[in-house]
Structure 1
Amino acid sequence: MKNKTVIITGASTGIGKAIAKHFIERESNVIMNSSNEENLKAAYKELGSPSNAMYLFGDISKQETGKKLIALALDKFNAVDVLINNAGVFSPKPFLDVEEKDLDLYWNVNLKGTYFTSQAAIAAMLKQKSGSIINIGTVLVEHAIDGFPATAPLTSKGAIHSLTRQLAAEFGKNNIKINTIAPGIIRSPLQGKIGIEDADSLAGLHLLNRIGEANEIAEAAYYLATSNFVTGETINVAGGHTVGHAI
C-alpha cells in the first residue's frame, strides 16, 4: 500500500483513527475525514502531522462532502485507490420510542454517507480500472441481541451490508472490490457515548471472552485493501460473536 491513496471517513476517533494510523505507518497517502473539526485536527496532530496524510472536515451525510474527498485525493495524489466508509452513528433506543428524526439521522449518516461517497469514488475508480471500497457494518445485522434495542441504526447498517454485495456484483468486472467489515464489541469512545461505562463487561458476548481493539479492525481493513481476490464479502471481526455462545 506504499504510495496508494486511502480515504477514511470518521477518522478522528476510535476505529477510524486506528485505521488511519495503520495506513499512515505503511506509507500510504491518507485523507482523514470527520464531521468534528476539532477532533479531526487533534487526531492529525496526535498521529504526528504526517507528511503523507491530510484531513478534510465535512459532514459525510452531505453528498458534497464525498465529492470533495474524491476531488482532494485526485488533486493531491492523482488516485483514489481505497475508500473506507467508517463514519457512522449508533445508539440503542426501544423500537416503540423511535421517531422519524431517529431514522433520518441513521439513514442520512450511515447509509447515505456510505452510498454517495462510494458513488463518487467508483466514478474515479472506473477510470483507473481498479479500486477497493471497505464498508463498516456490524455483527448485529446478522446476530440480534435482546436487551440491546437498536432497530433504527441496525436497519441502516443492514442496508450497507446489502449495498456491499450489490456493488460487488455490478463492478467486479471493472476490478473494483467492495467488502464489509462487521466488528463485534470494539474498545472505542462509542461505548461511553451510549452509556456503557465498562466495555470489558461485554467480553462474554465473544467466544474469546474479550472485546476487540481498534487496531484489529485496522488490520482487517489493510488485508481487504491489499487483497485482489476478495469481493462482496462481510468479514466478521468479532471474536466468535456470531459463531456461538459460552454458557
Structure 2
Amino acid sequence: MNNELLTVNEVAEKLRTTPNTIYRWLRAGKFPGVKIGKEWRIKSEVLEARLAESYLPGEISYLDKINCRHDHIMAVTSSASEVYDLEAEFFKRGMREGRRLFKGCWWQNREEVRKELSVRGLAVEELEKRDMLVIVDLADSFSRNGEKGPVQIWLEEADRSLAMGYETMWGSGSPNLLSCGEDSSKLLDFEHFLDESLEKAPVVGICPYVFNIETKDCFNYFIHLMNHHKGVLFYSNGPATFFRRESSQR
C-alpha cells in the first residue's frame, strides 16, 4: 500500500484546484488529512481513491453546472480572498476547456490580480505573454464612458477571442455595490445592459460580489442583481451552491 504523504500544493496541482480550496476541505473534514506540526499532509492513497472515483468534493460541483459555451452567472462570496479563490478555479476550468481568459477589474487593481491569481496556481505572466489572458480596468472605463464602456470592452475582447480562433471567452468581472457610484441603481443598469449585450456573445461570464451587510440596502440590491444573471452561485468556506434561474422568469 502506498503511504506517501503529499503536501497541500501537490494535491491541489493534481486536482487542478487551489491550495486554499484544499485547506478548506481539510478544515471542514471533506478531505482526509493529517497534521504534522502546523502543516497538513494527505496520503497518496486517499488522493488516488478520489481520482479513481472521479470525485471532487461538492464545493466545486458548480463548475459542471455552468454552460461551458455561453453563460452569465452572479456569484456571492463573503470576502475578497474568496473572490480570488473562485476566479482562480473558474479560470483553470476555462483553460481546460481551451478558452481565452478575460479578467475585468473594478475594486481590484491589475497588479494585485496578477499576484493573487499567481499565488493560486495560474501562470499569469506566461498567459498574458501568449495573449491567453487579458486583465483590464473596467472601473476606469466606466468613469470615462459610463455603463457602455465596460460592456464594450467585454464585447471587444470576445470578438478578439473569436478572431484568434477561440470558440468562447471565459471572463470574470468583480464589481461591488459602489462600483458605479453612490447610486447603486446605476450598477443595476450596468448589469442589465451587460446581460442583454452578452446574450448572443460567445462568453461564459461570472460576476463575483462580496456580500457586505454593512452596505446600505445590500440585501435588496443583491436580490435585484440576481435578476440580471442566468444563475446565482453562493461560494464560501463550505460547499458552493448553484441556482439556475428559470427561463420563464427572464
Q: Greater RCO between the two (CA within 8 Å, min separation 6)?
A: 2
Instruction: Report the structure, 1 or 2, having the larger strand content.
Output: 2
Range into which the TM-score falls when normalised by the shorter chain: 0.3 to 0.5
Q: Which has the larger radius of gyration?
A: 2
TM-score by length of 1: 0.38
TM-score by length of 2: 0.38
